[in-house]
Structure 1
């Protein structure tokens, strides 16, 4: 990328190669780029062009840390993006240490930083809030024996704990299964729901196929709270087997005029319907552009602005506040839905629950 003379630069952290969730990264980047283009079409930042300096994190925390340091040296006014929670946590911790404002787009891990920080804000909901909504959906659907196939990860362990804490007071159990032997353990445990807390495409795709093909598990609900089924790759790999798998997404029941316009532009850019991640990317730049217009590109000034932000985003008015147990400035809250692909029409999404 050729740096534009006099440009105001934003560093973008995006997973664009494996083992990152590449499709989510592409949607995130599409939203970021669309918003930057619109800002520049409208005159930029006080007449200066806005420039996105993109770095691929590839779902690697150490690579993200190195990118944060490099972008800091390049003089970016702020950081934006990232999809993976563990990676975003590493980036946020480094940005905090460097005094570099970071508006996190998509990562949900509650403890995005070790303690309170003035430098980091987040658009995605905290995992505790979103996954409690998913647990409420399970309870409403009558599930009291829930199993999770979980790989080792702070993010998946946090999700399991949130589910257990929400379900236990209602007499429901959460049992952890080895992802390598899910089918037999599901039968033995007589679970009625299986949550996939594993990587995409593998082992998630293989687990879904194995469960779908075992007649003993025909009534077991497969769920994927982290959102894998929204991506087109999920449907391409699994076909009809990928339908009826509830996941979390962060969209309102109906988009307003801004959201509808952005959806159409993102659809044209991506060649398919945008995921909620693309809207998160667009909203990230929308917030940062407003802050830059009103307070300039001074890093400390940007960080001081988080509690004064009042921006109309694609999914509703965006304001940041301090929420209990969360050390960053948080949009409280984006809309939360539990959605699946309609088994009768896998290209169509059904809203099953809202929170």
Structure 2
């Protein structure tokens, strides 16, 4: 088992990563649980893992109840968030009630936001069951819901008490979802670790085949990188924005195509390619660098060509990006592979040149 720590200005907490951790869940998580527990999941994950968690909590003597939500990015909204609040109040949850976020990134984000706001702050634990959530969204305390005009526009920074990553949960993950998670893994390498990129190029097949030791190492390296960045910049005032590589373009794709039609990781993959193209326009990357990124994304069975969209759709959705300041679009670009940077005041001509092949 890997164990690492996330140390932010507001809170310090552990991340546990390994195989068959569920068998030791009671011993691992007891220090982070209060007497009353709410397990919050979706109908897909609950069918697979909820009975095991209920049994663990019952045998350990905890009072617990469950709230089951519909599955899908399209449900990451106010209406579904209110289902969490309804369940908490119906079961007389208190401020000390521990919320367990059992599921992927959507569940983690919504449960985190509910925890941040229920009685002005309740403790919660992330139990991510998808690769994307294990390497990215479960760590760092970003919580949010979507708005029809923009992804993750309503939320809060709120850190969990612990993150519990059992890689065996990935065995029930559809191949498309696994590939979507690999997009975020590749993102870490492209933005900040050229040696990790080389390692991924050598191990991408083993990752797709879910080799346990290779998976655990990849997850650990991603979580360690994110922990280091979040520890320096908890609320995205600076370098934490680098973790959004590909996301400005990707969120525009998700919003225009309809949440859930393109998986988040798929949109990020296509968005990374566009970020590389933009980096070329700015005189940083060479086309062969972009080709290298495209090659590994393709090996991970990810889309490398974004959908054709009207220019006004690209601009409208990107104008709602959280990195916009004073109306100016800002993008994460690649100065050289393994080194990201923030680019301000991208001109309309530069953006048009980047998107010219993808304008409907």
User: Comparing both structures, which one devotes a greater share of its residues to helix?
Assistant: 2
TM-score, structure 1 length as denominator?
Answer: 0.34
Specify which structure has the bigger relative contact order, considering alpha-carbon pairs within 8 angstroms and separated by 6 or more residues: 1
TM-score, structure 2 length as denominator?
Answer: 0.34
